Amino acid sequence: MRIVVLSSSVYSETACAIVSHLCALDYPPLAVLSLRTFDPATILRKVAQWGLRDAVRYAQTRLGPRTPASLHNVYLAPFLSHRGHPVRSLREIAEVPITFCKNQNSEKSLAFLKNCAPDLIVFAGGNILRQPLLDIPRLGVINLHLGLLPDVRGMSAPEWSLLNSVPLGITIHYMDRGIDTGPILLRRELPDPALSSSLENLRNRLIAFGVEQLGPVILGLDRGTISPAPQAVLDRDLQHFVIHQRLRDLAALRLQQLRSSPAPVRVRA
Amino acid sequence: MDSRLNKIMREAGGLITGPRRIFPLVGKVAHDRATCISSSRNLYSYATTRRPSAESLSALVNWILRAQRSNGGIAAYYSLFSGYSESYPEVTGYIVPTLYDFALLAHSDSARGAAERATNWLLSLQLSSGAFPAGLHGRSAAPSVFNTGQILQGLVRSWTETNRPEICDAAFAAADWLLSVQSVDGSWPTAYQDAPHTYYSMVAWSLAQLSECTGNQRYGLAAERNLDWVLKHIQPGGWIDGINLRGHPSYLHFVAYIIQGVLECALLRHRKDAVQAISAPAWILLRKFETAKHLPGAFDHSFASGRRFTCLTGNAQMSCVWLRLFDGSRSQDLRIEGSCDLRYLNAALKMNESLKPLLPTRGSDGVVGGVAGSYPIWAPYQPFRYISWGCKFFADALMLEQRLLTSLEASACAS
């Protein structure tokens, strides 16, 4: 199967883990289309958006590879190796060529992707994808969502799941024009969510769990044993938005309660 | 046209009598120009607290207290050209509940005292018919439906706080006059610009409040007649017709008035159908805010036709609406699908965060802690002015935010 991976940076841990994992499964991507690692305009925009401190942290994740000790997501460590060597940058996976772009929806990017003629695109970060790109692969573009669809669409999915007492889990689905409204390929609850020590820890565990679950999906698609299921509830607006810090704190409290008493407790609205 | 020219002449005259105002005026224009260019809104801009809500609330109420004139009335605005306006009966009326709320929350005697002085001034203005006059103090003696309705809010609250019989009498007289000029269909046809307006749902809310306090269903039924009339103006796409203001676009302030009036009236009257109907435009505006990070300041007959400036008062009102949709529909009998939804609270929290940095922390009395009509300051809604009703609605939103978060956090801890 011809697979292309979209990434936000060559140093993206998630993208590195996905590409390494695909190689390990014997489905090496034929290319990675990554956003430029250093884009001054993006960095400046982040300074304006987040302030200097957070922008510097962002720049650090974009501009340089991480050492094993400085891994942001330690749960990805099992996936971050290739032929026995640790992978901290997509450049370290020699057989997968990387093409850089400023925008994954640009004419140039679309021409590149059409030339690749992929069966499948795996979205591991980057721009909001437009329809012309979504139309390119034979099967479609798949995305790893950190919540169970259709209950929690959109941003801050783990936090909203906690607040709305929706089980924690991941969904791998085809992308379409809506926000997380595409047909579902796989939906799995996270085993032992109560083991998560913090929201960040929970998010990292969900990402690693999702990367692991990509394996059965790719195999299933290749062998034709998996078929996409359209989402049941398309009429209701279930999109969630970036969560405010105060509600995030409540979600953290909920997680803490989950750790001490795994029985579902609803944050009474 | 003449009145617009008069307004411009009066504002310009303010600069001649107070030439020192030129410096803050130029400073504010330069500041807004710079922030419009440099700030880029994004998904995370408003998701964290950069200025404590209590500090902003205190600044807002202090602005209102400084805007109270010696007669007890509260100025409509502070103009960067001409300074404070005369007292404004309508706004003085509906600021009274805000002052009492703050007095309770912060144990503030000055806020309570200001509310009492404001009420006394309002009592002195009531016409023999029971109505209250239109416009700024001293400009007109003509009775005004909208002003009477808005002042009724203050009277009802003052009465419940003080039990003074003369306030009760004044409230009944005002309400009786409102009923006497209400049309059979529930609208007020002889209103401003000789047309009925859907944003008079705010008047219906006042009547519903009086009914709730007194148990007199006559006022509650009149409120519901207006509610039903307004609901007929909600279009399938969520837009609400019937603002009917000639010479203006439909500012967000008026759209939010409609939604707020209908919602509050519906909650008081236990009208689940009305809560459901009005949650449609409220949700459309929430989505707009969450996806674009700002709400248009005005519309031309549809939500798709937003204008690119910010009506800060309208934003604060929408924050109140989202908070109340979250809060009010928690009662089982009013719960509708999706209404008891933390997404409303989330949007309101972010809206409040977006407004807090726009409260000036330096400047003259009329500027510090004030809510400008528009952002940027020269945009069309109340240009170059800090307006008292903007402070009122934002203070309401912050107090509501505090109450809901405290209750939510307590319930989360308890479970």
Please, are residues A44 and A110 in contact by the beta-carbon 8 Å criterion? Answer: no
CB within 8 Å: B346 and A247: yes
**A144 assigned to some structural domain:** no
Distance between CA atoms of A1 and A221, rounded to whole angstroms?
A: 9
- For chain A, give the number of residues: 269
A124 and A154 share a domain?
no
Same domain for A213 and A262, yes or no, is yes
Chain A residues at the B interface, defined by Cβ less than 8 Å, are 45, 48-50, 155, 160, 163-164, 236-237, 239-248, 250, 253-254, 257, 265-269
Same-domain check for residues A116 and A156: no
pLDDT in tens, A116-175: 999 999 999 888 899 999 999 999 999 999 999 999 999 999 999 999 989 999 999 999
Last residue of a domain, one of A107, A138, A169: A138
On the question of a cis peptide bond just before residue B360, with omega within 30 degrees of 0, the verdict is: no
Least CA distance to B45: which residue of chain A?
Answer: A49
Set of chain B residues whose Cβ sits within 8 Å of the Cβ of A247: 342, 345-346, 349
Q: Which of A138, A162, A189 delimits the end of a domain?
A: A138
Write out pLDDT tens, residues B237-275: 889 988 877 778 899 999 999 999 999 999 999 999 999
Tell which wins on pLDDT, A269 or A235: A235
Residues A185 and A212 in one domain: yes
Together in a domain, A32 and A107: yes
Across B172-179, average pLDDT: 98
Tell me: do A174 and A76 sit in the same domain: no
Write out residues 12-71 of B within 8 Å (CB-CB) of A.
38-40, 42-49
pLDDT digits (tens, 9 = 90+) for B77-108: 999 998 999 999 999 999 999 999 999 999 99
Could you tell me which residue, B154 or A128, shows the higher pLDDT? Answer: B154
| Residue A218 and residue A134 in one domain | no
Give domain status of residue A183, yes or no.
Answer: yes
**Mean pLDDT (whole number) for A3-27:** 93
- Rounded to 5 degrees, φ, ψ at B344 are -65, -45
Q: What is the DSSP string of A135-200?
A: TSSSSEEEEEESS-TTTSEESSHHHHHHHTTPPPEEEEEE--SSSS-SPEEEEEEPS-GGG--SHH
Lowest mean pLDDT among A180-184, A217-221, A231-235, B327-331: B327-331
Q: Mapping DSSP to helix (H, G, I), strand (E, B) and coil, where does residue B55 land?
A: helix
What whole-number distance in Å separates Cα of residue B302 and Cα of residue B82? 35
Q: Is A1 exposed, middle or buried (0-12, 13-18, 19+ CB in 10 A)?
A: middle
Residue-number span of the structural domain to which A225 is assigned: 149-269
B327 Cβ under 8 Å from any chain A Cβ: no
ipTM of model: 0.89
Q: Considering CB atoms only, which of B45, B290, B415 is closest to A49?
A: B45
- Same-domain check for residues A123 and A16: yes
The reply to whether A91 falls in a domain is yes
Q: How confident is the model at residue B322, as a pLDDT?
A: 96
Does residue A111 share a domain with residue A191? no
For the ranges B16-25, B202-211, B377-386, the one whose mean pLDDT is highest:
B202-211
Chain B hits for A50, Cβ within 8 Å: 44
Is B345 an interface residue toward A (CB < 8 Å)? Answer: yes
Q: Pick the residue with more confidence: A261 or B132?
A: B132
Q: Report the CATH number at residue A241.
A: 3.40.50.12230
Return the minimum-mean-pLDDT range out of B27-36, B177-186, B293-302.
B27-36
Q: How many domains does chain A have?
A: 2
Residue A186 C-alpha, separation from nearest chain B C-alpha, in angstroms: 26
Say what the pLDDT of residue B193 is.
73
Is the same domain home to A92 and A220? no
Q: For residue A171, is it within any domain?
A: yes
State how far the Cα of B29 lies from the Cα of B27, in Å rounded to an integer. 6
Q: Do A247 and B341 touch (CB under 8 A)?
A: no
Say whether both A131 and A154 belong to one domain: no
C-alpha distance from residue A65 to each of A59, A73, A87, B256 (Å) = 11, 13, 9, 50
Confidence of residue A106 (pLDDT cuts 50, 70, 90): very high
pLDDT of residue B339: 44
CATH 3.60.40.10 for domain B2-37+53-414: no
Q: Are residues A8 and A109 in the same domain?
A: yes
Cα distance from B379 to chain A (closest Cα, Å)?
24
Total CB pairs under 8 A between chain A and B: 77
Do B43 and A50 lie within an 8 Å CB cutoff? no
Cβ neighbours of residue B366 closer than 8 Å, sequence gap 6 or more: B63, B66, B67, B78, B83, B84, B386
- Does the pLDDT at position A231 exceed 70? yes
In A, minimum Cα distance to B325 occurs at A269
Contact A241 B346 (CB under 8 A): yes
Q: What integer is the mean pLDDT of B122-150? A: 89
